[in-house]
Amino acid sequence: MLSVSKRVLSSNRRILCSGFAPKQISIFPRSSTLTTTTTNSHRDFHFTSISRNENKSKQNQDNSNDMNKKDSEKPSSILNDDLLVKAGFDVDAAGNPAKTSLNNEKADAQSNESVRGEASEDTANEANSSKEHRRRRKRVSSTDIKREKMSNMFYVVLLGGGLGLGLYMGREWEPVELEQNNKKYAKEISEIESGYTPMSVYQRAKLRFDIFVQSFNEPPFDDLLPPPPPPPYQRPLTLVIGLEDLLVHSEWTNKGGWKTLKRPGVEFFLGYLSQYYEIVLFSNNSMMYGEPIIQKIDPIQAFVAYSLYKEHCVYKDGDYVKDLSKLNRDVGKVIVLDCNAKEVKLQPDNLIPLKPWTGEQDNGALLDLIPFLEYIVTQNVSDVRPVLNSFKDKAKLPEEFNKRVESLREKFYKDQHSKQQAGVMKLLGVATGSTSTAKFPLDFIREEGLNNYKRFIKLVEEEKEKIEFKQQRMKQTFTLDQYLSGQLSQEEIMKQQLAKDQELEQEFVKYKAQQGEK
pLDDT tens profile 218-253: 888 888 998 888 877 789 999 999 999 999 999 888
In this predicted model, what pLDDT tens digit does every residue of 35-49 receive, in sequence order? 444 444 444 434 344
Is 223 contained in some domain?
no
**Residue numbers of the domain that contains 425:** 231-438
Is 69 contained in some domain?
no
Q: Rounded CA gap, 437 and 415, in Å?
A: 11
Q: Rounded CA gap, 10 and 18, in Å?
A: 12
210 and 110 together in one domain: no
Residue from 244, 364, 237, 382 nearest 305 by CA:
237
Q: What Rg, from alpha-carbon coordinates, does the chain have? A: 57
pLDDT of residue 429: 54
Last-in-domain residue among 214, 244, 267: 214
Task: For residue 357, count other CB atoms closer than 10 A to its CB.
Answer: 20
Q: Rounded CA gap, 130 and 284, in Å?
A: 65
Total domain count, the chain: 5
Q: Which of 237-246, 377-386, 390-399, 424-433 has the lowest mean pLDDT?
A: 424-433
State mean pLDDT over 106-125.
60
Is 65 contained in some domain?
no
Q: Rounded CA gap, 37 and 401, in Å?
A: 150
Instruction: Supply angle C-alpha 142, 145, 150, rounded to 5.
Output: 125
This prediction has a pTM of: 0.61
- Residue 334's contacts (CB-CB under 8 Å, 6 or more residues apart) are 237, 238, 239, 240, 324, 327, 347, 350, 384
Residue from 41, 45, 36 nearest 20 by CA:
41
State mean pLDDT over 151-179.
89
360 and 427 together in one domain: yes
Q: Which of 255-269, 290-304, 385-399, 409-423 has the lowest mean pLDDT?
A: 409-423
128 and 153 together in one domain: no
401 and 462 together in one domain: no
Phi, psi dihedrals of residue 24, rounded to the nearest 5°: -110, 130
Is 208 contained in some domain?
yes
Strands 351-353 and 334-338: parallel
pLDDT of residue 161: 92
123 and 182 together in one domain: no
Question: How would you write 475-502 as a 3-class SS string?
Answer: CCCCCHHHHHHCCCCHHHHHHHHHHHHH
Q: Rounded CA gap, 497 and 477, in Å?
A: 12
Q: For the sheet with 237-242, list strands across it.
A: 306-308, 277-282, 237-242, 334-338, 351-353
Last-in-domain residue among 438, 466, 488: 438
Last-in-domain residue among 438, 465, 480: 438
CATH code where residue 342 lies: 3.40.50.1000
Q: Give the rounded percent of residues in the chain with a pLDDT score beyond 90.
A: 31
Is 449 contained in some domain?
no
260 and 393 together in one domain: yes
Is 67 contained in some domain?
no
Q: Rounded CA gap, 419 and 492, in Å?
A: 65
309 and 359 together in one domain: yes
Question: How many DSSP H helices and E strands does the chain contain?
Answer: 16, 11
Residue from 286, 350, 354 nearest 320 by CA:
286
pLDDT of residue 416: 81
State mean pLDDT over 396-407.
93
292 and 396 together in one domain: yes
For residues 279, 285, 289, 294, the Cα torsion angle rounded to the nearest 10 degrees is -10
Is 117 contained in some domain?
yes
323 in the Ramachandran plot: left (φ > 0), alpha (ψ -120 to 50) or beta?
Answer: beta
Could you tell me if 311 and 301 are in contact, meaning their C-beta atoms sit under 8 angstroms apart? no
pLDDT of residue 213: 84
Is 427 contained in some domain?
yes
- Across the chain, what does the average pLDDT equal? 76
152 and 126 together in one domain: no
Q: Rounded CA gap, 1 and 349, in Å?
A: 152
Q: Give the rounded percent of residues in the chain with a pLDDT score beyond 70.
A: 64
Q: 356 or 462, which is more confident?
A: 356
Residue 423 has pLDDT above 60, yes or no: no
- The residues facing 38 across adjacent strands are 43
Phi, psi dihedrals of residue 259, rounded to the nearest 5°: -140, 130
Residue 122 has pLDDT above 50, yes or no: yes
pLDDT of residue 255: 84
pLDDT of residue 47: 39
296 and 239 together in one domain: yes
Distance from chain centroid for Cα 363: 41
150 and 130 together in one domain: no
Q: 413 or 471, which is more confident?
A: 413
In this predicted model, what pLDDT tens digit does every residue of 277-290 receive, in sequence order? 999 999 999 999 99
Query: At 44, is the secondary structure helix, strand, or coil?
Result: strand
Q: Rounded CA gap, 110 and 33, in Å?
A: 69
Q: What share of the chain is helix, strand, coil (3-state, %, to 5)?
A: 55, 10, 30
- Provide the residue count of the chain: 518
207 and 241 together in one domain: no
